[in-house]
């Protein structure tokens, strides 16, 4: 599906996630059409960038009217792979892991948390919402039975690589790495790093340089 066989640059993918979020908000408030200029204004971009980005989609706008929010949502969802649901496990039942397992937003957007695991015997058996913390020894069984696609790594940095290896061996296709460390996996598995501490450090730099009188630049999608 789709007429485009070239890989889409990461910078474009990041903006597509923002467009999708914006489309969903607008559709919820009954807006049916949006122009590239309006969308650009909402997100602090240029209309050129928006139109150039949408060229990667198997979807066309309409001269003089713009883009239909429904059609655009659908086309972006397809490219992002969020037109289907994904089965996810969380590894690490600490504060962050538990928060992720309980977080409503993920399920609402098609990422269903099907399990949470930890290696700490004090945590195994604990209830986390509808889930029960399982032992790491059960990982490959859980991955097979629940047909898990992705793993969220929410363990301390020192354990992240080992957990990544276990998840890959168990057969997941993608990893979301919350740990502040670079993990290395074989080529057929993809990794996205979230690095929340790094975000705080970026913020810290912006505050410092803002105070020193440099141009304030918003970090994020732009």
Partner DNA sequence: TAGATTGTTAATCGATTAACAATC
Question: Is the separation of the CB atoms in 65 and 33 below 8 Å?
Answer: yes
d(CA 138, CA 206): 44
Secondary structure (3-state) at 56? coil
Q: Report the relative pairing of strands 190-193 and 174-177 from DSSP bridges.
A: parallel
CB count, 10 Å around CB of 76? 26
Q: Which of DNA, its own copies, none does residue 43 bind (CB under 5 to 8 Å by kind)?
A: its own copies
Toward its own copies, which CB reaches closer, 6 or 64? 6
* Residue 40 touches its own copies, criterion: CB under 8 A: no
Q: Which is nearer to its own copies, 59 or 86 (CB)?
A: 86
For residues 24-83, which are near DNA according to CB under 7 A? 35-37, 45-49, 51-52, 54-55, 60-67
Q: Is residue 31 part of the contact set for its own copies (CB under 8 A)? A: no
For residues 69 and 161, which CB has a smaller minimum distance to DNA in the complex?
A: 69
CB-based contact 189:174 (threshold 8 Å): yes
Closer residue to DNA in complex, CB, 67/100? 67
> Where in 162-181 is the site for its own copies (CB under 8 A)?
173-177, 180-181
Under rule CB under 8 A, which residues in 98-157 are in contact with its own copies? 98-100, 102-103, 105-106, 109, 111, 149-150, 157
Q: State the binding partner of 65 from DNA, its own copies, none, CB within 5 to 8 A by kind.
A: DNA
Closest of 135, 204, 127, 191 to residue 164, by C-alpha: 191
Alpha-carbon gap, residue 107 to 111, rounded angstroms: 5
Q: Are 159 and 149 in contact (CB under 8 A)?
A: no
Interface with DNA (CB under 7 A): 9, 11-12, 35-37, 45-49, 51-52, 54-55, 60-67
């Amino acid at each position: 599906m789709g007429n485009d066989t070239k890989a889409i640059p990461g910078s474009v993918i990041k903006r597509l996630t923002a467009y999708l979020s914006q489309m969903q908000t607008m559709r919820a408030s009954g807006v049916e059409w949006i122009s590239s200029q309006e969308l650009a204004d909402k997100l602090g971009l240029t209309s050129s960038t928006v139109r150039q980005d949408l060229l990667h989609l198997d979807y066309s706008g309409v001269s003089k009217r713009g883009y239909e929010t429904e059609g655009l949502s659908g086309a972006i969802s397809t490219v992002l792979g969020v037109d289907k649901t994904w089965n996810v496990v969380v590894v690490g039942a600490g504060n962050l892991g538990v928060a992720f397992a309980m977080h409503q937003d993920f399920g609402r957007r098609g990422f269903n948390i099907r399990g949470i695991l930890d290696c700490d015997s004090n945590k195994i058996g604990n209830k986390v919402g509808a889930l029960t913390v399982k032992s790491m020894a059960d990982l490959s069984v859980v991955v097979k039975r629940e047909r898990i696609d992705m793993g969220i790594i929410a363990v301390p940095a020192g354990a992240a690589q080992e957990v990544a290896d276990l998840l890959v061996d168990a057969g997941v296709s993608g990893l979301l790495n919350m740990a502040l460390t670079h993990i290395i996996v074989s080529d057929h598995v993809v990794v996205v790093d979230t690095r929340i501490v790094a975000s705080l450090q970026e913020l810290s730099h912006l505050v410092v340089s803002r105070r020193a009188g440099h141009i304030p630049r918003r970090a994020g999608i732009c």
